[in-house]
Structure 1
Amino acid sequence: MRIGELSRRTGVSERALRYYEEQGLLRPERRPSGYRVYRDVDVAAVRRIRVLLTAGLSTAQIVEVLPCMVDDDDLLAPICPELVDELVKQRDRIGAAIDELAATRANLDTIIANERRAS
Structure 2
Amino acid sequence: MSNISLVKKQIAAHLDECMALDGVSGCAVVSRTGALMEKRIENCLSAPSFAAMSATVIGSAEAAASMLHFSRPASVFVEGDDGGIIVLSAGKDNLITVIINKSADIQSLKRELAVIANNIGEE
* TM, length-normalised to structure 1: 0.28
Which protein has the bigger strand share? Answer: 2
Which protein has the bigger helix share? Answer: 1
* TM, length-normalised to structure 2: 0.27
**Greater gyration radius:** 1
